[in-house]
Amino acid sequence: MQSASGSAGDREPDTQEVVDVGAMQRQRLIVLPPFLGDESVAARQAVDDTHRAIVQFFLEQQGIEVIEVTAGELAEAEFRLGIKAEPTMRTDGTQSTPIYFSSRPIVAITRLLGSEHSVRVSSVATQALDKWTLNVQYEGPLMSSVSHSSGTFSEARVRENAQAAYVQMFPEAGSKYLESVVADARQTDAERLSALNALGRGFSFDGVSRALSTSAIQAAIELGRTAVATETRLKAWELLAQMDHPLIARALMDTLLTDMEAAIRAAAADELMDYRLDPVVRATLVAAAASDASADVRLRAHWSSLTAEQRSRYVGATLLDPALTLEEKMAPLKHARARPPGMSNSESRDAEIPAVTDAALEAVADIAASSRDPATRTTALVELGLGAHPEFLRLLMAEPEMIVRRRVATELGNRRNAPGLIEHVRLQLDELGADEATRQLFDQVVNLPSLPRLEPARQEPMPLR
């Protein structure tokens, strides 16, 4: 076996190194020799390139000793253990499926070679002409993963995959490494965001919850403020809002009041909802609701400042406001029924306001019958279903666009736990003598079992410390 890590004198010192992990326990990664199940020139080149990129990545990590195992050393280990580690193919009829290396022999071989962690790259032939699969398999006490691609090599993807494996195999060193990536301005915005996304999972691979350092939080905030792509900035703020640090709420308030992009200000308004009980945050939301140039930002800021009961009243009052257009009347209801970023469908359902009733529901029926906007009609029809309006199914059957009818059925299917919804839909289907196509459309509402209810993700507003 050959250690590929080198001595301190063999490597150029990195004067900009962010993380000092020299005091951490040095750990070994066994890099097993590549396996060529497909020996074509293209497959061999992709396997070699992937193997080399993985070795290079782990050589860059100070806390890891990389041990490259030769084919002879692997064969000796296999002989001593009486096992063979190689993938096979399973054929079902005309379909062939790669069977990856079984974890058990890989783990046994890795331990015999003096480590708990290993990686192996392989190519596997498929039945289709000129087709093969490239596999990368990581094994360790805390993880076992196989990634694969169909006949391609991407260094960026290999490094991203190696990064994910690193933080799972060596959580303590991995968390420090990812913080260094977030803070390193030499990295691309995409690389820094990827690291922040991994950090946002909380690093519970080994049962230890690791909070981000203040310097990492500051670097992530800077990414949210300065990244070139709007989508990168939005994702950075979404990830930050899931973490607990006093700098985050202050940064979100500053973003809400000063950012040049309305989409970013709107996201900041949404994320500040969890801090609304703090008087400074609420004052900021109220100010944005009163003065922001964007109607969407004003709506979101106002929404985030309200309690659940106040939101229900706000939706009802807006629907009955004669001074507003149909779309303006529906805007708060659309926002109420939209799924917030980072929240699952089930969490979003359980956190929703109740269906509108009485005069407000009648206003929704008028909007469903008269609006020219398909999205507005979709929201209105869903609300009529949730509110058990007697004209719901008639208006739905009169809807001219099939895509609207399908979306309404899907949305109601996702909310079939709503009190009385299934019974109401069944009753109207029978009373109106609905045709077979309409009955099939609502099959997911009336015939599927009820969905399990989950606790809402956002129950208690977070204090601003």
113-164 pLDDT tens trace: 989 999 999 887 765 555 678 888 999 887 788 887 776 778 888 888 888 8
Least confident range of 245-249, 262-266, 379-383 = 245-249
Compute and round to an integer the Cα radius of gyration of the chain: 28
The residues, ordered by sequence, that sit 6+ positions from 465 with a Cβ below 8 Å of its Cβ are 246
Sign of the Cα torsion 98, 99, 103, 105 reads negative
If you average pLDDT over each of 207-221, 322-336, 345-359, 425-439, which comes out highest? 322-336
**This model's pTM is above 0.75:** no
Percentage of the residues of the chain whose pLDDT score is greater than 90: 50
Do 346 and 413 touch, CB atoms closer than 8 A?
no
Q: How many CB atoms lie within 10 A of CB 2?
A: 11
Q: What do you get for the CA distance between the two ends of the chain, in Å?
A: 53
DSSP bridge partners of 68: 2, 31
List the single range of 356-360, 380-384, 401-405, 429-433 with lowest mean pLDDT.
429-433
Q: How many residues does the chain have?
A: 465
Determine the average pLDDT of the residues in 395-402.
94
Instruction: Give the pLDDT of residue 248.
Output: 94
Torsion of CA 119, 48, 99, 143, to 10 degrees: 20
Q: What is the pLDDT of residues 33-46, one digit of tens each?
A: 998 887 888 888 98
Note whether 70 and 157 are within 8 A (CB): no
Are the C-beta atoms of 392 and 356 separated by less than 8 Å? no
Residue 222's pLDDT band, with cuts at 50, 70 and 90, is very high
Identify the pLDDT of residue 159.
85
> Tokens 């398909």 belong to which residue?
374
Q: All domains of the chain, ordered by start, with CATH?
A: 24-169 (3.40.50)
Whether 237 has a pLDDT exceeding 80, the answer reads yes
Greatest mean pLDDT among 15-29, 177-191, 286-300, 447-461: 286-300
Most confident segment among 136-145, 163-172, 319-328: 319-328
**Mean pLDDT value across the chain:** 83
pLDDT at 126: 66
